[in-house]
Chain A
Amino acid sequence: MSVAVVGFGQTHFRTKRKDKTHPEIAFEAVNAALEHAGLELKDIEAVAYGSMDPFDGIYCPERWDATACSLEKPMMKISTGGTTGMTTALAAYEHVASGLFDLVMAVCVQRVGECVDAQPVLNTAVDPIYERHSGLGAIHIASFQATAYMEKYGATEEDLAWVSVKDHKNALKNPYAHIKMDLGVDDVLKSRVVCSPLKLLECCPRSDGAAAVIFASEDLAKKIRDNPAWIVAETTISDSYYLGDRLSFAEWDSLAIAGRRLFRDAGIENPVKDIDVAELYSPFTIQEILELEALGFAEKGRGKELAREGVTFIDGDMPTNPSGGVLCTNPIGATGLVRFGEAALQVMGEAVNQVDGAEVALAHAWGGTLQFHTLAVLSSKKKLG
């Protein structure tokens, strides 16, 4: 059964949304999505809800947030780390693809700004028996990737900085984006080193906010809008737990495997040619480079050149993160859903930084300590080719 996105809504993302409580932020995103689809909450048959609980200091926040999105409806709570937003989208999608429901909403809420510091929370994802003592968090892992990639492929600090310049330029035009700064390469390079070799302006912020995406079955989707975004293919992949079991830090093997499966399902032979725009989960500059290579947008070792040469800018051949991406806005458990929603807007032709004529978009999120990926291809057409 074909399934399409018929509505997407997001809140304004900020360091702290002091003006609202947890469910009030959910309410804002839910209403934005309903308005975009021209629907009312009573039309929605079921809800998939995602969050990565501990950042917000509320355990199982779906219980409180149900008041904003799901009273009287079946609700399912999804939590899978950084991929949460994307897996919540896939869970909502399964509701419709299974034929059990016709109109289902994915809602993700995250208030990273509510916890005074995010890295200690990320550290609690790390095994308390063998690894937690090391102080390991997401940024350390990304730095491991950067160190290995720079050594293996001779990438420079400037190469990485260009990714940040590109994302920040895009975020300037996105009213929902969190960080708005007009940056040059020198600004990035001069910012302080957080975890070597990554610098402050190569790392994502902590953001408060929420997003919602509405999925509809085929006939309904066509009735709701004339430009629905069809889900052409989706996949997730789960790797082994220990970082040390995956020693290829300069490549992202699990993403390459998942990407190959995704493209096979979607009927994509040449990602550079067949995909018009990608919303990638790259909270750290190095990760976009590894993702571009793993997904076949660049040869191994060549991903470092794409931002520098302008290929990934909005007017380039392979625009990435026209929204400004995760580097400028990261409400962790909702971030994946923003990628999914922004990809949908691109193929609807309604994105703020619209890529001209975009018909096929890719959405991606990673999670765990580089352990999980979730991917989807969305298109203005039901089937590619």
Chain B
Amino acid sequence: MEVKEFEIWWKIPFKHSAGLHATKFFEGLKDGKILGVRCERCGRVLVPPRAFCERCHVETNDWVEVSDEGVVETLTVTYMKFTGLPDPPYAIGVVKLDGADTGMLCFLGGVDLSEWRKVHETFKPGTRVKAVWKEEREGKITDILYFEPLK
């Protein structure tokens, strides 16, 4: 007897409140600025900004602007298609922006992604990169299209 299978989709809407801190960050993106918060206790500049420092367990309210240039910490290029996720190949990495003490998750781009070893050579940890911004910014994380190597 063939075992029956039923295809079922979860279609559930969510409305995620960004909260005041992230909202301020997204407003900054509209103006082409990347904002972080400095923890008054440990002194670290946290990017992206959040309402409290996890290490010190205190609120954070000291806003600072950081550079849209920074250093690659690590990366990967995805070659397999996963349902609902971006079409491959796409490169993501963690970039520590100048003026920040933490890294930010982002897309890497501006280069041919077909050969991973070449991409890793171009963006290897320690490589300096710069943000490439969307022309029409909407105050979303994707206003930064990707980071490319600094020429």
Contact = CB atoms under 8 A, between A and B. Distances in A.
Contact of A247 (B8, B55, B93, B96): B96
Interface stretch (A44-52, A114-122, A165-173): A114-122
A244 B104 contact: yes
Interface stretch (B58-66, B70-78, B129-137): B70-78
A175 B107 CA distance: 42
Given A140-B78, A147-B74, A243-B103, A135 B86 contact: yes
Contacts of B96: 244, 247
A19 B92 contact: no
Contacts of A243: 94, 103, 105
A123 interface: yes
Nearest to A196: B116
A196 B106 contact: no
Interface string B109-129: 000000011011000110000
B74 A249 contact: yes
B116 A193 contact: yes
A245 B45 CA distance: 10
A191 to B, nearest CB: 11
Interface in A73-113: none
A195 B55 contact: no
Interface residues of A, number: 42
B82 A120 contact: yes
A152 B124 CA distance: 10
B85 A151 contact: no
A352 interface: no
A137 to B, nearest CB: 7
Nearest to B94: A244
Given A197-B116, A249-B94, A128 B78 contact: no
B78 A194 contact: yes
B102 A242 contact: yes
Contact of A148 (B55, B73, B82, B117): B73
A308 B84 CA distance: 37
Given A137-B85, A243-B105, A130 B124 contact: no
B50 to A, nearest CB: 8
Q: Which 7 A-B pairs have the closest CB atoms?
A: A244-B103, A143-B76, A196-B116, A117-B83, A119-B82, A240-B54, A135-B85
Interface of B: 3, 5, 8, 10, 14, 16, 18-19, 22, 46-48, 50, 54-55, 73-80, 82-86, 90, 92-94, 96, 102-107, 116-117, 119-120, 124-125, 141-142
